[in-house]
Amino acid sequence: MTKHQKSENLKPKKTENALAPETLAQLDPDIVALAVEASELADDVPVGDDLRFTKGKWHKIVGKKDVAVSATTSFAVDMRSYRRGWIKWIDKKPVFKGIGRPVDGFVSPKRNQLPDRDKSEWPTEQDPWQETFYVVMRDLVETVTSYYGSKALGALLKVYTREAREHPGLMPVVLLSSETKETVDYGDVEAPVLTVADWKDFGPDAAPPGMKLPQLEFPKVRELLPAPSKPISDDMNDEIPF
């Protein structure tokens, strides 16, 4: 989500001697370290209204109000802002957050690479680890954790990567809608749909180009088998009675 733009003329002018962020990162490791810190601090700073998809309807939360989003309302999407990762929740509070941008080299682990795989040890029936996806839109930020929400973002990423070269410097403008999906366990469910309707300059609040940042450290998976009490070689040297 980004702050409301009052003027498209606020975009800073390019200078001939300016270095791209990725070039600075390659030249100075201090900048990489500070970029990681900036990313972690900025993650918790609200920059707009949350966009949500509930029961086939798009709506946003403005303060404490729930405001419906029309199917004819379009939103410019900042594709470089796309992030994914995992949040661990205990008692409805996030106790670990590992989320990053693929353009920065972030690689989100698979669920089986994270701890807490034994369902019998979960505090509730819900997996404490929730995979989360973010993308910034003009005046909105969409956060999804559902299966079909991630599929909608995936479809949008495919369109962007396929057509971005035809629209240099521009970002897709989408319309929000929904479609019915048939499922085995839950019957018919409403799934979000993001349809590209145009391409425009996102403006001065667009996410910066990718920087090759260090990979975030996730908690290690606990060993399922206890360590042997003595070296295997000792077992091999035991006497065999006759």
- DSSP of 147-188, one letter per residue? HHHHHHHHHHHHHHHHHGGGSTT-EEEEEEEEEEEEETTTEE
Asked if residue 73 has pLDDT above 50, the reply is yes
Asked if residue 12 has pLDDT above 50, the reply is no
Average pLDDT over residues 208-230: 70
| pLDDT number for residue 2 | 37
Asked if residue 10 has pLDDT above 60, the reply is no
| pLDDT number for residue 107 | 92
Asked if residue 241 has pLDDT above 90, the reply is no
Give the CA dihedral 143, 146, 147, 151, nearest 10 degrees: -20
Measured CA to CA, the distance from residue 102 to residue 108 in angstroms comes to 8
State the burial class of residue 184 (Cβ atoms within 10 Å of its Cβ: 0-12, 13-18, 19+). Answer: exposed
| pLDDT number for residue 38 | 62
**Residues 6+ away with beta carbon under 8 Å from 115:** 219, 220, 221, 222
Q: pLDDT band at 54, cuts 50/70/90?
A: confident
Question: Residue 51, by phi and psi: left (phi above 0), alpha (psi -120 to 50) or beta?
Answer: beta
Q: In the chain, pLDDT over 90 holds for what percent of residues? A: 41
**Least confident segment among 17-21, 38-42, 68-72, 218-222:** 17-21
CB 172 within 8 A of CB 160: yes
Angle, CA 105 vertex, CA 102 and CA 107 arms, to 5°? 70
CB 159 within 8 A of CB 198: no
Global pTM value: 0.70
Higher pLDDT, 176 or 232: 176
Average pLDDT over residues 221-231: 53
Instruction: Quote the longest CA-to-CA distance of the chain.
Output: 92
Task: Please give the C-alpha separations between residue 55 and each of 137, 148, 179, 191, in angstroms, as whole numbers.
Answer: 21, 12, 11, 8
- DSSP of 104-150, one letter per residue? GT--PPPGGGSS---GGG-SSSS-SEEEEEEEEETTEEEEE-SHHHH
**Least confident segment among 37-41, 87-91, 157-161:** 37-41
